[in-house]
Amino acid sequence: MAPSDDRIAATLMALARARGAGKSFCPSEAARALASDWRGLMPRIRRVAADLPALRATQRGASVDPVTARGPIRLSLREGAGR
């Protein structure tokens, strides 16, 4: 059974908070935490991440839209997003 968007969001935020300010993580870490066959979850992970105002997506250090960015991205807490 596929995880709900709420569960995906909670997992993304937990990973971001665990890393802390100024640190990033790969969205695949969330996918792997949610499913053993995680690759198919990646589009949903990116879509949910795009809808979370507390998260910032980057590629080579520049902000990107996680849905439309091609290739690997990193996610992190936005400046001032707090806990």
Cβ atoms 80, 54 nearer than 8 A:
no
Q: What is the pLDDT of residues 7-29, one digit of tens each?
A: 999 999 999 999 998 899 999 99
Q: What is the pLDDT of residues 35-82, one digit of tens each?
A: 999 999 999 999 999 999 999 999 999 999 999 999 999 999 998 765
pLDDT in the model for residue 82: 57
Q: Which CATH number goes with the domain that contains 66? A: 1.10.10.10
Whether 83 maps to a domain, the answer reads: no
Domain enclosing residue 10, as ranges: 5-77
Whether 82 maps to a domain, the answer reads: no
pTM (two decimals): 0.93
Whether 68 maps to a domain, the answer reads: yes
